[in-house]
Structure 1
Amino acid sequence: FDKVFLFQFDEFIKDHEQYLHRKSLGNRTTGTTFLQLISLIRRQNERTLANTLNNATNSIKFTLIEAYIAGQTQSSINVVLKHLDNDKSKNKELIECFLMAAAFTPRPSELLFEQLMNRSKNSDYQIETSTYLTLGAIVHKIYHSNKKSLIIDNFTKFIQNSLKEHSKTKNAKRLVYLSLYNAKIDLYQNILINEIKSCSETDLCWLALSALTQLDCKTLSTEVISLIRSLYHEHNKRTYGIQIRQLAGLILLKTDISVPDFLNIILSTLDKSNHQLGLYMWRVIDTMTQNDELLARKLKFIINQQMVVFSFDSLAYKGQSDYYRRTLLTTYGFGVYYTVSQLMSKVGALKESDFTVNIQQYDAQDDYELLSFGVSAQGLESYITDDVDESDQNAKDEELHAQLRINILNTQLRPVELFSGVTGLMGAVWSAPSELTSAFRSNLMIHDLSRYIHLHNGVIVHYEAQSAVSLDLSGMASISLWNKNSHSVIRVSTGFSVRSHIDILSDFITTGINSTLSTNTIVDYTTDVDYSDSPIRVCMQMAIQPTQVHDNIENFYSIKRTKSYRWFGNRTLKYPGTDYPFTEKNNQMCQLLHKS
């Protein structure tokens, strides 16, 4: 019996090898093959899995590790861990691949969590960072399925011990806050609040605030709201960076904000001494009131009561900061939306830029983050202009630094440093890829459900559903120091596949339906920047290439010892490519750039 499964496993890998290579990622067939591979892995013994992984070529070993971890059998997990432990070269890419697969496993096991805990300390800071992020992601899934799990207690002790090491290892707090960002559990709110109270180190304070945004802000206590309010309005005579104030303002607006607090935020947007933050917050308010009826009523009340008087001069901001939300697509029961957030410093240098795609049910307030990528930068002011006033002197003194953040399925990946220091900036400029180059690619299992329902009449209903995405995130940048302009493209290629079946089992008949839905989606996000003159001109464009959705259905039944029947059906739906507009101001910038 084992030999039969071994033959099927080896034959499957041989027949589908082209879809197991990394170069095939971002394809719907790759996603479907990945699901089929997981199904086979769950029926193999440890010896078979070990032989296959050890003998696999490097080109398919990454996909096998992803599938082994997604399979979540004790044998498959043990095989991967032993393989990584015995790898003399300590291939960082394989370890990162393992951690990535573990972070996105829909139903992580206790064995996986325990093994990760034992391997949490690593001399390589990047591996250690990914491990902390993965632990947070696993705890998030376990907590929402079983809040009384002993794993939560073990994770709490792990976090507390890590914080005690802060005096020995300066990166310990940073790792903890990244882990808590993915955990998204209210139990650890006090840890974040303690850091925010002191806010002595800007980067740690920003990480703590960022993790706090992942919690339900409507449940924050009055004391915490008062603390966040003091950060945003700088009540305690301390000057905070614009990025700290940005997060504090977003948190306040996500709470059940009172009318006086809302009024004070609106008044702060009219402060021309910090016009970029004011413009950003006003755009946030405008966007949120379009999607939040209660917040819209509060704004209407403030205006009707003439608590604040708007004039053309007060709203005539001259800045590049922006925030808006647009519809990507709508279908039965839910919609998909994209949000663009761009925060600039007083002199027009980039501070934060984020692009986020969310899915939301029509009858629900909460949404789910599908994808987000953003850039955080510091110290660019001095390289754009010498006209930095004293109030923005802190920005001028900041160390030159930029970081790329990627969130997939509401889970943050390890931040990537784009450059640090002048030498790093020049290196990034000269080494920027002029052709599309993969920055992240992986096969991710995003849904795994299996249920047996025993009816009173003896009939058993078996329902099973899995979904996976084959993802390739690529980018390119063309930067001209001579012409003082740049052109960049971020391409997100996804191959999405869903497999499900329902079986009705009884002593005399077996019947069921198998269904597979798959599609390819390619999204291009293009940014053109012209910094040859002031103000800087930025043009952002987004387009989805033509898409096909493939739907396959198989219906079958068999009556024991008599007859059986199978019926197959399939269809292909075609959707044209679409260009998605941003704001009118952005469209005007695009026209100016493309004319010049």
Structure 2
Amino acid sequence: MFPSFASLFLVLAIFGSHCHQAPATTRNYEVGSVYTYDYVLGLELNEPPAVSAKDSNGAGGTSGQVKPPSTVGYKVLTTVQVRPVWQNEPGGAILEITLSRPQLQIKSRKAPHPDGFRDHTSQLDSASLHPLYVYWKDGIIQKTYSVTNDDISFVNIKKGIANLLQIPTGTTSGTVDENTPMGQCKVTYESCDTRHVTKHLTGNCEQLAAAQKFPSSTHSSRVLGADVQSNITVRTILTREAVVVEESEATERHTVRTTAKQEVGATINTSQSFKLTGTTSSSDNIVTASSAEAAIKEIAKISGLQMTTDSLVSQYEKFPQCEGPNCKNYDTLIKSLDYESISTNKMASAFIQIVTKFRDASADEIEKILNANKKNLPALLDACAAAGTPSAHKAAMKVLDFEDDDFISNPERYLLGLSLSPTPAPEAIPDLFNLIKKKMKSSKLQETLVLSIAALVNTLRTNNRRTGSPALDKLIDVEVEDYIVKSLEDCTESSCQQMYLRALKNLKSKATLPKLFEIIQSSDPKTGVVAMKAVHAFPDPLIAVTFRPTLLKVVQQLGKKYDSSARTLALDILLRNKPTREEVLQILHLLKNHDSQHAEVTTFMWNRVQEFMETNSELAKFVNDIITEEGLQTYHHLAPKGLSTAFSRTFTSGPSGNTSFSNAIEMSSKILKRSSFDVYIKSSDDSLHLLSLGIFAGGLSSFASSNNEVAVDEESEDATAGMELTLMGVQLRPIVFFTGKGELMSLVWSGAGSERTSAIKGNVLLQDEKQVIPLYCGLVTDINIQGGLSFELAGQVQISLWYRTANSLVENKAALVLQSTIRVDTSFVKSRVDYTVAAEASLHFTSDINFSDGVLMCLKLTQPEFNIRQNIHKTERIPGSKHRLRKAKYKTTPVPGITYALNKKNSQLCGVMYKDEL
């Protein structure tokens, strides 16, 4: 803790806590007087305080009596002279603020006090110290005037000093809008008497002018964002005679946390001590102009300096993200992008660093890198997509060939990255739209283009991204959606309809919901399922009450015959949207009347109801009351009659939130019809559907069932199977394994698929948070939080017609590297906290089927053991000096392997199937 903090507590004790309103006395800095102050600015950076389960909202509480971790930081000591040089209107003045003999102090073990501060040479010692002029009116800083070529860091510090002079004349107790270095803030004033004034701020300041707006980006889902909590207190004592500032003590604390993992981030603590040491007389350079603007012009003429007019808000000065010998160049980073490194921490980390470099690179520079590294081009295309800049997109489009229908993997890889980017470049929309209208030779690439542009438009709309170009904004707001809807209406084949329905799923436009429900009720069963999947992906608030009767009809199969998958999806939508008691009653009446022919779908629905009851107390009460009232609490009504199942499990849980998965398996005549594996990240006030992996099959009942067991839905259905993947709400092009029994038997006899085959892989920015926080003291904090996800989805299938067995494995491998960098850089000293979390994990879903004598099936979901590594580096560096302070902390947390219990029926079947091995 700074010595100035201790003096603040003394001031608190003197002031007491019974304050009422700010003084109304007129304050006046007199022309001809020079007010000299001692000023100390202190900064300390640290990791965030530990968060306990009781304090999961990020307020900054600590769990237990833990010794505070060591910090990095510095102090700036200087003498400040405040001199009125113009005062030709009531309550108004031009004040000249000048620094003299600034000195940097750094934390050092050699200091007089343990972990204290000592003097250190820096660029402060030889800096040109230009004055800052402020127009001070009735106690408020209206404008600032700085020397045009002055060092931005010094200008910001002087603005922080000028801010301490602000106490509005006549302000009563309460909250007012006030311009500060942080922007326009809500400031609460209290005063014990005419001399003692207290200010309180909690951040949430606005930069009103366009020139003041700082770089910022965030994920549309709050789960993948960051939270900043601020607390600023300023206590001021005024002089008895002139009623100007005699002493001011300011402390501010900003705590930055990632929402999903709240221990990641940093705290920024600053202190300001401003004490009047004397008043002298001086008539130098006093002007007598008629107005403040005229006075500044006269001052500029006298001094021979050019002035820049500005507000009190600090200026943003961009410094390189990485400086020094530890920064890796392109060649080193690209070596980590080789094929074998997919889904490893090495690749995820290199990916993040290349994205950062690409954001500052020109299109020509990026194009040269892409052309020189063809071997690692797919991963570099991922980086181009994630960079989200016009230059990166332009470079990628120059090296990609969308006309070669024999090699579409690279264009599809880039389109996948664009679809998943949290901050895509709007300039990509016209390029993709032109390609779509040209019609690609490859139908697969054409579908990927359609799905990608829909996802891009949804992201840009969600982020409320305005481009400044009316034509481009119209394309995003209207034209792409109109094109997709019209193309859907013009389709003459179900495959065409299904492609554009998947695009509407990615678009998620409320205006398309009536069209989706129209198709659900009028199309063939398979197309109806695709349309229902699109509705299922919409945010719940968009599902209007008027659609609920239609959803209930689909569940009950009223009016027409619906595919069982459409019915179960409709049930999901109803259950997650607070069903009424009457709706629950009708659903339960349907489930109690199940027969053997519909045993699987009713079993699945009943499992789904039970799953939602675990998190919805009102639904649980409705169901339990109805079961009692209707006399349904019997084995005949409640016992499962089929193999279908649905359940949820928790992966991880903690104060920040939890990660969970939901697994749904819908069977048909003892053969898998549809399965979905969904992963969710949830915080206290939001959730993100991170992943949905779906397997679908049809027309396979005859392989494992007797003739009288073949499902009604599959009597005329061709044999088919495939996989669907949705990442962060973006539907990818489905992968079809086979269509027709001929293709199936060809796969069986050839053994294709018996070796591990990668279905999809890539690198995406799961988290991309950029914030610039101007501090109350005038310094500026730069926040960069990026989460790089490197993933691969692979699988294999082995079928033996001789032994009548089938074994499949779906393997999800991923590496996540979350890097948080919080910096407070100036031209003379740079401080930062880097917090990195890294983990490599995998999830295996296996199914073993034996149909030599009836059908036995065993499903297993296993998570192998892995480690979570956390590294914290706190660094301080003085440009032009060898001084480099680095404090590090490392932690490894092992996560044991686990095999998840699916359901009782599956456990029984596994026990029978492997009884000889138990």
TM-score when scaled to structure 2? 0.60
> Partner of 2:912 in structure 1?
592
Amino acid at match of 2:500: V
| 1:293 and 2:617 matched | yes
> Partner of 1:30 in structure 2?
347
> Partner of 1:21 in structure 2?
338
Mean Cα deviation higher: 425-434 or 464-473:
425-434
Structure-2 change in CA distance of 1:374 and 1:432 (3 Å): farther
Q: Deviations over 1:249-298 (max 9, x none)?
A: 22222333121221111121122321111111111111110111221122
CA contact (8 A) 1:84 1:90 kept: no
> Partner of 2:735 in structure 1?
416
Return the offset for 1:111: 0.4
| 1:367 and 2:690 matched | no
Return the offset for 1:217: 4.1
> Partner of 2:565 in structure 1?
243
Larger helix percent: 1
Give the 5 Å matches for 1:192-591: 192-198=516-522, 200-217=523-540, 220-236=543-559, 238-273=560-595, 274-304=598-628, 306-345=629-668, 347-361=669-683, 363-364=684-685, 367-388=687-708, 392-430=711-749, 431-506=751-826, 508-534=828-854, 536-559=855-878, 564-569=883-888, 570-591=890-911
> Partner of 2:162 in structure 1?
none
Separation in 1 of the partners of 2:543 and 2:348? 40
Structure-2 change in CA distance of 1:469 and 1:562 (3 Å): closer
Return the offset for 1:140: 2.3
Mean Cα deviation higher: 488-497 or 138-147:
138-147
CA contact (8 A) 2:875 2:884 kept: yes
| 1:177 and 2:177 matched | no
| 1:61 and 2:377 matched | yes
Mean Cα deviation higher: 95-104 or 155-164:
155-164
Return the offset for 1:389: 6.9
CA contact (8 A) 2:400 2:411 kept: yes
SS in 1 for 2:641: coil
Amino acid at match of 2:565: Q
Return the offset for 1:37: 1.2
Q: Deviations over 1:36-58 (max 9, x none)?
A: 1112222322222222212223x
Amino acid at match of 1:215: F
Mean Cα deviation higher: 582-591 or 572-581:
572-581
Separation in 1 of the partners of 2:786 and 2:779? 23
Separation in 2 of the partners of 1:50 and 1:284? 50
Separation in 1 of the partners of 2:837 and 2:457? 30
Q: Deviations over 1:433-492 (max 9, x none)?
A: 333221111111222121222234321111111111111112122211122221211221
Separation in 1 of the partners of 2:446 and 2:514? 24
Amino acid at match of 1:24: S
> Partner of 1:108 in structure 2?
424
Return the offset for 1:147: 7.9
Separation in 1 of the partners of 2:569 and 2:405? 42
Return the offset for 1:396: 0.9
Give the 5 Å matches for 1:128-147: 128-146=446-464
Which residue, out of 83, 96, 100, partners 2:412?
Answer: 96
SS in 2 for 1:441: strand
Separation in 2 of the partners of 1:254 and 1:147? 30
Instruction: Work out the number of aligned pairs and report it.
Output: 580
Structure-2 change in CA distance of 1:197 and 1:16 (3 Å): same
> Partner of 1:49 in structure 2?
366
Q: Which has the larger radius of gyration?
A: 2
SS in 2 for 1:44: coil
> Partner of 2:179 in structure 1?
none
CA contact (8 A) 1:552 1:568 kept: no
Structure-2 change in CA distance of 1:561 and 1:445 (3 Å): closer
Separation in 1 of the partners of 2:790 and 2:352? 10
Structure-2 change in CA distance of 1:336 and 1:86 (3 Å): closer
TM-score when scaled to structure 1? 0.91
Separation in 2 of the partners of 1:186 and 1:533? 51
Q: Deviations over 1:85-141 (max 9, x none)?
A: 488686311111111111111101210122111112323111111112212221222
CA contact (8 A) 1:218 1:256 kept: no
Structure-2 change in CA distance of 1:548 and 1:217 (3 Å): closer
Return the offset for 1:235: 2.1
Q: Deviations over 1:173-212 (max 9, x none)?
A: 22221112122332321221221231x2222211111110
Separation in 1 of the partners of 2:741 and 2:404? 36
Amino acid at match of 1:492: N
Separation in 2 of the partners of 1:394 and 1:548? 46
SS in 1 for 2:642: coil
Separation in 2 of the partners of 1:87 and 1:163? 24
SS in 1 for 2:599: helix
CA contact (8 A) 2:670 2:705 kept: no
> Partner of 1:188 in structure 2?
512
Structure-2 change in CA distance of 1:466 and 1:222 (3 Å): closer
Structure-2 change in CA distance of 1:487 and 1:229 (3 Å): same
Identity %: 23
> Partner of 2:64 in structure 1?
none
The alignment yields a C-alpha RMSD, in angstroms, of: 2.5
Amino acid at match of 1:319: G
Return the offset for 1:355: 1.7
| 1:12 and 2:329 matched | yes
Return the offset for 1:559: 4.8
- Unaligned runs of 5+ residues in structure 1 are none
Structure-2 change in CA distance of 1:11 and 1:298 (3 Å): closer
Structure-2 change in CA distance of 1:129 and 1:296 (3 Å): same
Give the 5 Å matches for 1:126-165: 126-146=444-464, 150=474, 151-165=476-490
Return the offset for 1:594: 1.3
SS in 1 for 2:423: coil
Q: Deviations over 1:146-173 (max 9, x none)?
A: 1885412232222233234324x76442
Return the offset for 1:21: 1.2
Amino acid at match of 2:434: N
Mean Cα deviation higher: 415-424 or 243-252:
243-252
CA contact (8 A) 2:632 2:638 kept: no
Separation in 2 of the partners of 1:586 and 1:323? 12
Separation in 2 of the partners of 1:338 and 1:525? 13
| 1:74 and 2:393 matched | no
Amino acid at match of 1:556: T
Return the offset for 1:24: 1.2
Amino acid at match of 2:457: V
Separation in 2 of the partners of 1:85 and 1:542? 40
Separation in 1 of the partners of 2:879 and 2:717? 76
SS in 2 for 1:483: coil
Amino acid at match of 2:537: Q
Higher relative contact order, structure no. (Cα contacts within 8 Å, ≥ 6 residues apart): 2
